[in-house]
Amino acid sequence: MNDPVLDAIRRRRVTRSMTDEPVAREQIETILEAARWAPTAGNRHLQRFVATTDPATLRVLRMVSPGMIPRPAAAAVVVCVDRELVARYGFPTTAPGPWIDVGTATATILLAAQAVGLGAGPVSSFSRAAVAVVLDLPGSWSPELIICLGHPAADQPRPMQRPRALGWRDLTRWVPDDDPGPAADAR
C-alpha cells in the first residue's frame, strides 16, 4: 500500500547527530500543533509541552540529561504531565493514561518532525527535578520525555546492531492462532 503517512512512518529514524543550523520557530510551532491532535485519555489533554531553542537552556538540559545523544540539538520539546489536572480528573496516581498520552504525543511529534524536514530523538534518561528547575516548570508539571530536534547531519552514528530485522509477524501473536506464520513457530 502506498500512503504518505505509512511512507513517513517507514522513513522516520531517530536522529543521533545534528548540524548546528538553527530550527525555525515555525517548524516547532507546526510540530506542536500536530502534537495537540495526538490521541489522549478521554480527550482530556493531560500533557503539556515546553519548547526551547535557546542555546544556553539546551546546554544546561544536556548537563542534566545523560540520554541527550543527539548533538548538537538546535531545539527541544519536553513532554510533561500536569499532575494537578490528572488528580482533578480523578485519575489515580498509578493510572497509565497520562503516560500513554505522553507516548501518543511523542509519536506524533516524531512524525511531524519528519514531515517538516527535521530530525528528532527522544530522551528518557534525565533528572526530572533538574529539568523542572532548568525550565522553571509549574509545580504540578512533571517532565516525562525530552525530544531533541534539529537538522540531521549527513553522517549518523550506526544504529545498535540487532541479530536481524524484525517483521510484524515476529512481534505479533494472533488469538486464536489461525495464521501459521513465524510467530506460531516461536511457541
**DSSP per-residue string spanning 83-151:** HHHHHHTT--TT-SHHHHHHHHHHHHHHHHHHHTT-EEEEE--S-HHHHHHHTT--TTEEEEEEEEEEP
pLDDT band at 102 (very low <50, low <70, confident <90, very high): very high
Contacts of 69 (CB under 8 A, 6+ apart): 16, 121, 123
- What average pLDDT does this structure show over 30-37? 96
**Between the CA atoms of 4, 9, 10 and 13, what dihedral angle is there, to the nearest 10 degrees?**
130
Residue 172 has pLDDT above 60, yes or no: yes
Set of cell numbers at residue 88: 482533578
pLDDT one-digit tens code per residue, 38-72: 999 888 899 999 999 999 999 999 999 987 766 77
CB atoms within 10 A of CB 3: 8
For residue 68, what is the DSSP state? -
73 against 29, higher pLDDT: 29
Cell of 140: 504540578
What are the structural domains of the chain?
A: 4-157 (3.40.109.10)
- Position 64 scores a pLDDT of 94
pLDDT for 70: 62
Between residues 187 and 128, the one the model is more confident about:
128
The pTM for the full model equals 0.84
Averaged over 94-98, what is the pLDDT? 88
Give pLDDT, residue 10: 72
Query: How many residues are there in the chain?
Result: 187
With beta carbons less than 8 A apart as the criterion, state whether 119 and 34 touch.
no
pLDDT in tens, 112-143: 999 999 999 999 999 999 999 999 999 999 99
Residue 61 three-state SS:
helix
pLDDT digits over 78-88, tens only?
Answer: 999 999 999 99
CA angle 137–140–145, rounded 5-degree value: 60
pLDDT of residue 159: 66
pLDDT of residue 180: 62
C-alpha of 94 from chain center = 21
pLDDT at residue 3 in the model: 77
